[in-house]
Every structure is written in structure tokens, then in C-alpha cells.
Amino acid sequence: MMKRKILLDESEIPTHWYNVIADMPNKPLPPLHPGTQEPIGPEALAPLFPMELIRQEVSGEKYIEIPDQVRDIYKLWRCTPMYRAHGLEAALDSPARIFYKYEGGSPAGSHKPNTAVAQAYYNKQEGVKKITTETGAGQWGSALSFACNVFDLACEVYMVKISYQQKPYRKSLMNTWGATVHASPTDQTQAGRKILEADPDSPGSLGIAISEAVEMAAADEQTKYALGSVLNHVLLHQTVVGQEAVKQMEMAGYLPDIVVAPFGGGSNFAGISFPFLRLNIEEGQKIRCIASEPASCPKLTRGVFRYDFGDTVGMTPLLPMYTLGHDFVPAPIHAGGLRYHGAGVIVSQLLKDQLIEAVAHKQLECFEAGVLFSKTEGIVPAPETTHAIATAIREAKRCKEEGKAETILIHLCGHGYFDLKAYEDYLAGKLVEHEVTSDEIKASLAKLDTPVPE
């Protein structure tokens, strides 16, 4: 009988996070002060983050130990299973071997708790009482709500308004774990009021919600801010996924030719791919690590490598990243978690150095992939996750054309149980494509007066 799942016992949860910076040939450029445009040190982040997370943000150490209390909470859902996608393979009639690493079994239904628990833990250790954050589709907000509940911290979530309306169950989930949820933009912050004055019907964006959450955290000493992607320490925490996956692929007896993950800010791509990149760097393997982004928010495939703000209003340090411009407002696609104008610093440098690849998919191709996956593997993937499946299907079809039995590993980072309205609309033929023109991208980038990295 065929083998479908490769499990690891909780005793095999990694003991350390893997820091890819240690292995990068070109290290990321330093962040700049938003006013002076001079390089800033870690102390500039102190109003927003606890010291240990700042230390991790700038660390060059290759491995950083995971605290026992964090690993203990990880056990609620880790190690996560690896599946061989026999059903999908049969439907595609491709010689490609397809595997997926499934993170949807976590309390919040995605990979996000991997960093949320770590961040809440360090905040608690340093005496913080409340954490603010933003959320797109709600994956990150619910993960942080769960984590704050575990460590008895208050949690305030600024949820992008379009997602707040599309995904009411996500709000209820956060409430069940004790968090407070606001539809962003709100009139409670200067950043929110500024947006609402310009456009009272603004659907919101991750960039705007970040501005609001950061403003609230900066205003109160016992309140800190947490980000669910983009930053180095967030990507770092996600590497438990890839470390487990390396072990599970060894158990399966195949080294992947391709590792693919959806791309929003970088955390789920980093989580699965960095431990495989290590194999490329250390052992000379040739694993293709592919980031899959939405065609309506194509910073990796159509953006520029430039210093830019992490938020919309311009409160954060300037970061060297692939970006569409910080006030680019992506179309309201259902993959809300991917509606972010920029890419994390590490991923941006890796792409610039051609150590990773990027592709873009339109919304309908992704939902088609999601429905096929649901029918063949039983798991309904989140709209974000369907992007990676769409890439895997493209690659499997190429393998069929070329007669190659390549091995493809998908990061199946979240389930779509909260996104079924989107599936219903897709099945009813109601979903529309959202395209972004070159002129729109040019116009957004033309507004940037930030430094160009050398």
C-alpha cells in the first residue's frame, strides 16, 4: 500500500532556529532612519520590540536556540505532517513526485503561530502587557491572539477592512482567544484618520494597518508591536518548518528539485526554503526555491529593489527591499495575506543575488488549483496557499512535457476553512481577475523619493 504521510514525533521539534544570514554571500544592507536616511542601529527598534527580538533581528549567528517554553507550546501542533500528494499526482498524470508540508493543523490554521508564540514569549519575558498588530486575511491576527492568550498578554489587532468584511469568522476566532479586533483604517489613530480623510471608503491594506498598530504601540510604554512577516526574526522563527521538512524528505528518500511557497512578506517562503537553501550553500545542491506571488501585487516579479518604508504612512525605518512603492494599494483579492507592497530584506537580497526565483499567478488560476487540490487531497487550502499549488502544477506539467520525474515540495501553509465564501464565489463564476498595469506600477514607484541601494 502506498505511503501518504511522514510523521515526526514531538521530540524531533527543532531545538534551534536557522539563521540564513550567516550563510548569505551578500549580507542585507542596513536599515535607514526614515528622517535622516542614515543607517540605524538596533536601538531604534526598542520602542516597538523587546530586546531579545531586536537581538535576533540583527544576529549573524547561524543557529539560535529555541526556548523550552516555546517548544512546549509548539507541541500543540508540531511536528507537522509531510504528505505525498498521490491524489494530485494522479490527476495531473505527471511523472513529477509532489509532496506537501501541512501547517494548517495549528490552532490558528496556518504556519503563523510558529513566530507568534516565540514573539509573545519574549514580550512576556520582558514585562510587556499588550501587543498590537495588523492582519490581512486574519491568519496572522488569529495566530497572535492565540499566542497572547497562552502567555496572558492583551492583544489588539488591526484587521484590513476588506478582509474584516469578507472573513467574519476570523474575527470571532480572535475574540474567542480574547483579542480585540478593529477594522482598519480606524479613526483611533492619526494614520487611520489621514487615510479616511482622503478616502472614507478605503478597503484598507496591510501597509495602513501596520501604521495603525505601530502608532498605538509607540504611544504606550507597556505596549509593543508584533509583525507576522517581513522582518528577519519572523522569518527566522519559521525555519522550524523547513528543518522538519528536510528531515521528512530524507525519510521519504527524495531530495526536492523544487521547493515552492506562497509569497506575501516572506515568512512562509523563508520558513520552508531557507533550510533547503542551506543545502545549496553547504552541499552544493541545486534546489530551486520559488516564491509564488499574486499577479495583482507583483513586487518580486515586477517591482524594484529600493529602500522603502514597511508601512504606508512612512513611520518605519527604510528597508532595502523589492517593492511596488509603500502607498501601492493592491486589488482586493481573496489572498489577503499576500496584499503587501514589499518583500522582506533577506528574501529581497537573495532574489537580487539570484539564489531564489519568483513567479506570479492570477487569482482564477490559483482557485482552480485550490479546487483541484481539495478534490484530490481532501484539504481545502487557503487562497494564499493556492499560489504555491498553482506553481507546483505548472512545474508538474512541465515535467510531463519534458518527461522528467522531478520532486516538488509545496509549503501547504494554511487551510481555507475561513475562506469558503471565496471558493463559493469562484464556483459560481463570480470571481474577477485583478490586473495591475505597468503604468500603475510606474506611477506608484515614481512617488518614491527614498534612496536607491548601490
Which residues are near its own copies by CB under 8 A?
Answer: 1-5, 7, 9-10, 68, 71-72, 75-77, 83, 105-107, 109, 146, 149-150, 168-169, 171-173, 175-178, 371, 374-375, 377-380, 417-418, 420-421, 423-424, 427
Q: What are phi and psi of 430, to 5 degrees?
A: -95, -10
Smallest gap from Cβ 107 to its own copies, in A, equals 3
Could you tell me the smallest distance in angstroms from the CB atom of residue 175 to its own copies? 6
Strands of the sheet with 223-225, listed across from one edge? 180-184, 154-160, 130-135, 223-225
Contact 331, 296 (CB under 8 A): yes
- Torsions phi, psi of 237, nearest 5? -60, -30
- Which residue's CB is nearer to its own copies, number 54 or number 157? 157
Closest distance to its own copies from the beta carbon of 144 (Å): 13
User: Cβ–Cβ contacts within 10 Å for residue 209, how many?
Assistant: 31
Task: Name the residue nearer to its own copies (CB basis): 54 or 66.
Answer: 66
- Residue 27 or 375 with smaller CB distance to its own copies: 375
Q: CB of 143: closest distance to its own copies in angstroms?
A: 11
Closer residue to its own copies in complex, CB, 173/249: 173
The number of beta carbons lying within 10 Å of the beta carbon of residue 147 is 30
In DSSP terms, which residues pair with 155 in a beta bridge?
131
CB-wise, 220 or 424, nearer to its own copies? 424
Is 157 in contact with 88 (CB distance < 8 Å)?
no
Nearer to its own copies, 25 or 429 (CB): 429
- 341: phi then psi, degrees, rounded to nearest 5: -75, -20
End-to-end CA distance of the chain: 56
Q: How far is the CB of 149 from its own copies (least distance, A)?
A: 5
Q: Which residue has the cell 494599494?
A: 329
> If DSSP codes are grouped into helix, strand and coil, which group holds residue 133?
strand
Return the number of the residue (26 or 172) whose C-beta is nearest its own copies: 172
Least separation in angstroms between residue 48's CB and its own copies is 27
For the bound state, the minimum distance from the C-beta of residue 35 to its own copies, rounded and expressed in Å, comes to 42
Q: Identify the helix (H) or strand (E) that includes residue 409.
A: strand 407-412
